[in-house]
Every structure is written in C-alpha cells, then in structure tokens.
Amino acid sequence: MPQSGWSKKRERQYEHIKDGLRGRGASEGKAEEIAARTVNKERARHGEAKRASRTSVQDISSGRRGGLRSHRGPGGRTKAQLYAEARRKGVAGRSTMTKAELERAVAR
C-alpha cells in the first residue's frame, strides 16, 4: 500500500514497519494502517508532506515514542491503561487504587 508521493526511503520504511508488526502477530490490515500512519507522520515531521497536523510536527518522533510507550521499563503502562485492564478483569476497588496497586492487581 505504499503511496505514490512517497520516496523510495519511505517505501522501505513502510515495508520494514509492516513486516515488524506482522512478525509480532498484527493482522495484515492493522500492520498496513500503522505503518502508513507512521510513515506519513515522519514525512510531516521532515517537511515532506503538503499538510501536517500540529501534533505530527510537535510530538516526539514515532521511533522514540514507541520506545517510551512500549509497556516496559520504569514508565510502563499509564494509570489509565492499567485501570482499563483492571476494569476488564473485574478487579474490585480499582477506582481508589494507586498506579502501583493497579500494576500488582492486574499482574495477578
């Protein structure tokens, strides 16, 4: 699904991202969507796109953001993400729990 306005570099980037997502179990459609969004955002950040949203230009780069929000390391998941998972699991008392308490409750 590489787009006509993309350079060869962006096409390679798209394929690399898509292949990586497929290797981690994402569906073909989801992998294509995420790869295209990522490439388009990088194009916007580097001035290659005609139009760019403010968040595309001001947010941290896709590669860095993915590493920061990968659910590992000291930051891990946000409290909102933990709360949502606790709700799915039916954890009682989740509304008054701290982030650390939610992490322990969800890990069970």
Where are the domains positioned within the chain? 8-68, 71-108
How far apart are the C-alpha atoms of 44 and 4, rounded to whole Å? 16
Band (pLDDT 50/70/90 cuts) for residue 49 is confident
pTM of the predicted structure, to 2 decimals: 0.55
pLDDT tens for each residue of 14-48: 999 999 999 989 899 999 999 998 888 888 888 88
